[in-house]
Amino acid sequence: MTEAKNVAVLLAGGVGVRVGLDVPKQLIKIAGHPIMEHTLGVLDRHPDVDEIIVLMTPGHLDAVHAMVKSGGYRKVTQVLEGADTRSGTTMKALAAIESDDAKVLLHDAVRPLLSNRIITECFAALDDYDAVDVAIPSADTIIEVDEKNTILNVPPRASLRRGQTPQAFTSSVIKEAYRLAAEDPSFEATDDCSVVLRYLPQVPIWVVKGDERNMKVTEPIDLYLADKLFQLTAHDLPETRSEADYREALAGRTMVVFGGSYGIGADIAQLAKEYGANVATFSRSTTGTHVQRREDIVEAATTVLEEHGSIDFVVNTAGVLPRGALVDASDDTIFSATDINYIAPILIAQEFHPHLRATGGSLLLFTSSSYTRGRSGYSLYSSAKAATVNLTQALADEWAADGIRVNCINPERTGTPMRTKAFGEEPPESLLQSTVVARASLDTLLSGGTGHLIDLRRADPLAAALADHEDLADDEAWDDTDS
């Protein structure tokens, strides 16, 4: 193995008896991908991770090899069989790491909602400590019971934490801890920090703050909860590039923007042009394009191909925001809202699929926070937003083998002409700027991830949450009202 400074070990050796299925739980699909592929993708994309070693349940290594190949996870250097126990699997991983100077991060494959922050802080903590755990405060009172199931002790909650993974170590320390453990006939362990604590008690273990989202899929209900969390919880925004990186990635490439006459769509188009992209924008007001008509989508694609020869990126920000009780909505309103807000993305996806497949391109759709639940007065709108999120995840799965990335932006209330027209002037500090959304859109289009919902919020998340609760007008992504 090539020596690396930071090695991530993906522990996928479990069999998943408790979820009641015939396949290992890490291969069960949620949000369009096997659980462990979500986890693998987070590690592979993180800039601090140099190499990844996967420890997989015996008999299922072929599935991992196929996953690595189809997903293009270039940091994976070894796929090995796991052992019968967690500690045995860890020892196999450590034996595969030749360097005693490496930083080793060990993570459960069935914790797919791992955040970039936790990975970054674990590796950073190893500059000062030789062992690092990840944990969150306990919201519940923890009780200790005896063999008769009666309470033996109630420890003070303030000092208690709920352990998670990853756990991180300098390779020399974790190897030494397991060497000593192997000499102990009574050795038992369910996690790696406990091995260091028992056999190298002189080594302090730093605790990085975990995340409630970083749940472990263990019981059948966890499959349902994790699937919903992938819908309700956004992925971290891809890293912003330098100006030179944007130019290198976009110069000479072709982008199509529907709903690009003003607002977010126009800002995306303008920003891409500044970095040298060939950009074609379409809307009803500027090009007479009706996004709900297949013939108009076909004409747009044909026009772009005739001029530029290929298509690398497709963005759809077109939409309408009908408001009012559903019982009062006319047939025209119902069909127009459904056609523009939901049928249009489907038609765009169908017609541009072969062109994006030819370039290994990227499709970007937009939703809003109203997709998480239906809201009074917004039934047509919020239901279309939910459909858009599901469409994104389904297409990401369907098109993965074609090399096409499909993602969705979920911005909070954004300052656009459409919003001003509907709600008048509002304090600028209460709104996202459309240029910020445009920049994040480029980052998402250029990222290697697919099937992601990117949540864009202002710096104060509590203020943003309260604003969304008080103001049901989540029209932030919809810029072309006459589309």
pLDDT at residue number 447:
84
| Domain coordinates in residue numbering, the chain | 6-232, 243-470
| Tens-place pLDDT, residues 366-425 | 988 777 667 778 889 889 988 998 899 899 889 988 999 999 998 876 656 555 555 566
Residue 16 has what pLDDT? 55
Residue 471: per-residue pLDDT: 42
Q: Which fold has domain 243-470?
A: Rossmann fold (3.40.50)
Query: What confidence score (pLDDT) does residue 460 get?
Result: 46
- CA gap 97, 122 in Å, rounded: 19
Question: What pLDDT, on the 0 to 100 scale, is given for residue 430?
Answer: 59
Query: pTM score > 0.85 for this model?
Result: no
Low-confidence ranges of the chain (pLDDT < 50): 1-2, 19, 460-483
Say yes or no: do domains 6-232 and 243-470 share a fold. no
Which CATH homologous superfamily contains domain 6-232?
Spore Coat Polysaccharide Biosynthesis Protein SpsA; Chain A (3.90.550.10)
